[in-house]
Amino acid sequence: MLIANTPKVKAFHGGASFEFIGSRFDDLSRVDQCINADVLDAWFDPSPMVIAKIREHLPWILRTSPPTHCEGLVQVLAEQLNVSAGNLLVGAGSSNLIFLAMLRLLSKNSKVLTLDPTYGEYNHIFEEVIGCECVKVPFLHEERGAYSLPISKLIDVILKARPDMVTLVNPNSPTGTLITKEELLRLRHAIPKETLLWIDETYIDYVDTSQSLIAYAAEARNTIVCKSLSKVYALSGARSAYLCASPEIITGLSCFSPPWAVSLPAQIATIAAVQDRDYYAKRYQETSEYRGLLAAGFRDMGFKVHDSVANFFLAEIPDRFGVASEFVQDCRRFGLYLRDISKMGSHVNKRMVRVAVKDSQTNAKILSTVKHVLTSQTQQS
């Protein structure tokens, strides 16, 4: 017996399109025959600088051991983020860092607080892997039918529950809602200093990195920012991420990080990506435009679309059609993968799907497929 809890299930994620593509990758041309709008990977390619560097040296990159503790990667990230190298711990994707950190920061006697709904891996690791108490704060405003929670209310819940850690995904998935930096700092100052604040900023660049708490986390002793580089630098396949926190926290966690934790392709790709700010800034601007157009298309078909600041949004299927689980299956028959979010929270409407924003051509295909599915459901009823 290696660990106290041996969960029987894995957390539920998107990525079902690999059932169609094939996870042995025999025929990668199948990638173009489906739309994976159930995962939140970037719709754009990594910066041309990333591609050029990797392409030019690919055989060497594949056969060579990377710098053992990602020294250059940590230095470049520190320069770009204006923090010290001692504030950073890098890993092969934030999932890797979430598992590494949570298993050391918490025990089965801990209490954590999360929003409901939120990114499913958090509740999975808290409840199934560590087996600790998890207080989930529902924040769907019943009367307005929108996701919102005044910060003073969240502070009240935290003060009452007294958790060891508060975990906030900001902007949150699947809701696409943002807690502003100002509100977060108000929360940080109002809650006990012993309470660790974990902020997952996977999607923050789609809003504005001035909303990030990275600079604060580097100075404070009780705040950790977890940053995936997957979704905003188009590096989901490469696997790259970092934690930013006080040197004490980082030193305490880094001894559990193995050598060569980030692959050489991922180290090289990340260094090139974070230095090409202009390229990515344009992509975030386009994402916001595409989100507006795609959301309008869903509204025109009768969906209730929830406001979002990120590269995805929630859409509620009109009453006369099937629930999300059926609708998602119907769309899959036409190669469109959407996310039924009913398993992402305990207070989630069964008619809600999460839609990832893609490029304009793919978004047009998403809309025509959804229209086709709705029409065929009408004809069958």
Query: Binding residues for ligand PLP, per CB under 6 A?
Result: 40, 93-95, 119, 169, 173, 200, 202, 228, 230, 236, 241
Closer to ligand PLP by Cβ: residue 236 or 275: 236
For residue 112, the surrounding DSSP H or E stretch is strand 111-116
CA neighbor of 22 nearest in space, from 11, 37, 9, 33: 33
**Residue 318 corresponds to which tokens in the numbers above?**
């009109």
Beta-ladder partners of 352: 316
d(CA 8, CA 131): 13
**Between 227 and 374, CB nearer to ligand PLP:** 227
Closer residue to ligand PLP (CB): 351 or 354: 354
Residue of minimal CB distance from ligand PLP?
228
C-alpha–C-alpha distance, residues 54 and 365, integer Å = 31
Cβ closest to ligand PLP, residue 46 vs residue 93: 93
Structure tokens at 279: 């390229």
Sequence-separated (6 or more) residues with CB below 8 Å from residue 23: none
Distance CA 319, CA 296 (A): 18
Q: How far is the CB of 228 from ligand PLP (least distance, A)?
A: 3
The CB-of-111 to ligand PLP minimum distance in angstroms stands at 21
**Phi, psi of 226, rounded to the nearest 5 degrees:** -110, 120
Residue 89 one-letter amino acid: L
**238 vs 250 by CB, closer to ligand PLP:** 238
In the complex, what is the shortest distance from the CB of residue 239 to ligand PLP, in angstroms, rounded to a whole number? Answer: 7
Pick 36 or 173: Cβ nearer ligand PLP: 173
Binning the chain into helix, strand and coil, the percentages to the nearest 5 are 45, 15, 40
| Residue 364, C-beta contacts closer than 8 angstroms, at least 6 positions apart | none
Report residue 155 as tokens. 């502070």
**CA-based nearest residue to 95, from 261, 251, 269, 221:** 261
Q: Residues 66, 262: contact at Cβ < 8 Å?
A: yes
Contact 253, 100 (CB under 8 A): yes
* 225 or 249: CB nearest ligand PLP: 225
Q: How far is the CB of 89 from ligand PLP (least distance, A)?
A: 13
**Minimum distance of ligand PLP from residue 60's CB (angstroms):** 25
Closest distance to ligand PLP from the beta carbon of 269 (Å): 13
- In the bound state with ligand PLP, the residue whose beta carbon lies nearer, of 242 and 303, is 242
Contact yes or no for 158/113 (Cβ under 8 A): yes
Q: 66 or 322: whose CB is closer to ligand PLP? A: 66
Q: How far is the CB of 93 from ligand PLP (least distance, A)?
A: 3
Min separation Cβ 262 and ligand PLP, Å: 11
Query: Residue 293, Cβ neighbours under 10 Å: how many?
Result: 13
Contact 306, 175 (CB under 8 A): yes
The number of beta carbons lying within 10 Å of the beta carbon of residue 305 is 18
